[in-house]
Amino acid sequence: MSRTFLLLAALLGLLATALGAYGAHGLPGKVSPHLLASFNTAVQYQFFHALALMVVGLWLMHQHSRLLVGAGIAFLIGMLGFSGSIYALVLVGSKGFGPITPMGGMTLMVGWALLAVAAVMKGGKSE
């Protein structure tokens, strides 16, 4: 699972870079400043959580833990829900994904909470 998380973290970081460039050079003038700001927030959150996923993958290389795997999965689902729904709103104009955004954000928070518990429990191994 660690290699899968590392690969996905790298690909999501690459995608965030490409989307960030598009947001900086391709979107201004095509969408409202409010939507552009939302798009940039989605890119920023994707970057942060791609890095968090990389940390999870590296940690898993040294210590297997269901809590860490859960955190990685939560980060993936959260990025898809939070950033993905904002991308859909801005790029496609689909407001139907709007309710998914806060659920994605909550899932990202679950990922951080699982990471915190894993840290307290020394990687998620109960002692």
Does the residue 58 lie in any domain? yes
Does the residue 61 lie in any domain? yes
The structure tokens listed for 29 are: 């003038």
Does the residue 126 lie in any domain? no
Contacts of 78 (CB under 8 A, 6+ apart): 49, 104, 105, 106, 107, 108, 109, 110, 111
Does the residue 127 lie in any domain? no
Does the residue 9 lie in any domain? yes
Does the residue 125 lie in any domain? no
* Neighbouring C-beta atoms of residue 15, cutoff 10 Å: 17
C-alpha 108/C-alpha 48 separation (Å) is: 11
* Contact call for residues 79 and 12 (beta carbons, < 8 A): yes
The alpha carbon of 125 is separated from its chain's Cα centroid by a whole number of angstroms, namely 25
The whole-number pLDDT of residue 127 equals 40
User: Domain count of the chain?
Assistant: 1
Write out the residue range of the structural domain in which residue 9 sits.
2-120
User: The pTM is what?
Assistant: 0.91
Does the residue 113 lie in any domain? yes
| pLDDT one digit per residue (tens) for the chain, 127 residues | 899 999 999 999 999 999 999 999 999 999 999 999 999 999 999 999 999 999 999 999 999 899 999 999 999 999 999 999 999 999 998 878 888 999 999 999 999 999 999 999 875 554 4
The whole-number pLDDT of residue 125 equals 55
* Contact call for residues 108 and 74 (beta carbons, < 8 A): yes
